[in-house]
Amino acid sequence: MKKDEKINYKIDSNVLKNYVETINSIKEPMSRIKEQLNQMSKPMQELSKSFNASMKPIVEASKDVSKTFEPIRKIGEQSNESLKSMQEQLKNIHTMSNAIKELSIKYPNAQSKIFTDTIKQIMNINNGMLSTRMIEPLNISRQYLSIMEKNNDIEKISRGIYLSPSALEDSYFSFQQKYKKAIFSHMNALYFYGMTEEFPYNYTVTVPQNYHVDTVNEKCNVFYVSDDIYEIGVTEVETPSGNKVRVYDKERCICDIIRSKGRMDSEQVIKSIKQYIRRKDKNIAKLSNYAKRMGISKKVIEMVGAYYE
């Protein structure tokens, strides 16, 4: 046995965790993220300095804006936060990429082992699952996935999704790993909250109106909504297998089933509304706010009011 075969090509656990959380949080195509990474020719400190310098006039200007222009100031703050979040995401990916490069420099004859070990470590952090998106920014060829599959180190469970032999497949988690913009909604989301007797044999998801992937429509019930309401009420819950997936909260779900009652089982809609009303953790103020933003205040007031005790 060669000496380098005995080595564990370990990457710092915090670096791995930050990387996996970052990739799971990114909804944009990975090709766009790679383009941004390719532009990072400056060291991270210089990039940060440049970023802060470019943002300073905007931040300073927003401080001087009068109360009359409060909405404009808020937009400036939101843009600032969005850019900072993007900077942090790129930093986490860059740090992970550098960790692999350092191992490759230290062990120049062990690239294959470094890459396969890295894949296993990512899968371990990600509860035994891996999407091809997770290795794209690291410039790890998909051929290593094929090699690992042939060696029974991983199992391909669907296009672009792999599972480690020791892990149990979580269909909800693997689905959302593949379709990043799909948010579990309506009765499917209410199932996670124990607010429906209807088991979701088919997924029900909500996506932006400009998101068109034919295979999504083949696999589940899809609701297309405008961008201005797509993010309302988004939260995370744990699946029965313990993985986190994006769903709408209870108040958004109630708004959704009322808004889309023509496509729903009317009996189940009424049962779910009654269950919501009985819950101690209901938030009527939030429900009212969501209904107003979605333009369905009258419908929600009528239906919820009819069963409110």
Mean pLDDT for the stretch of residues 173-195: 90
Report the pLDDT value the prediction gives residue 233, as an integer from 0 to 100.
97
Is residue 247 within 8 Å of 237, Cβ to Cβ? yes
* 293 dihedral zone (left: phi>0; alpha: psi -120 to 50; beta): alpha
Q: pLDDT tens, 135-145?
A: 999 989 999 99
Residue 74 has pLDDT above 50, yes or no: no
Please provide the average confidence, as pLDDT, over all residues in the chain. Answer: 83
Residue 80 has pLDDT above 70, yes or no: no
Q: pLDDT tens, 112-127?
A: 999 999 999 999 999 8
Q: Return the ∠ at Cα 178 (arms to 197 and 207), rounded to 5°.
A: 65
| DSSP H or E segment with residue 214 | helix 214-219
Pairing of strands 155-158, 234-238: unpaired
Report the pLDDT value the prediction gives residue 56, as an integer from 0 to 100.
56
Res. 160 pLDDT band, cuts 50 70 90: confident
**What is the spatial distance between Cα 151 and Cα 143, in angstroms, rounded to a whole number?**
12
Report the pLDDT value the prediction gives residue 49, as an integer from 0 to 100.
57
Res. 41 pLDDT band, cuts 50 70 90: very low
Beta strand extents in 5-47 (DSSP E only): none
Res. 229 pLDDT band, cuts 50 70 90: very high
Residue 197 has pLDDT above 50, yes or no: yes
Beta strand extents in 129-231 (DSSP E only): 129-131, 155-158, 161-163, 183-184, 203-208, 220-225
The structural domains of the chain, with segments of one domain joined by +, span 3-163, 179-307
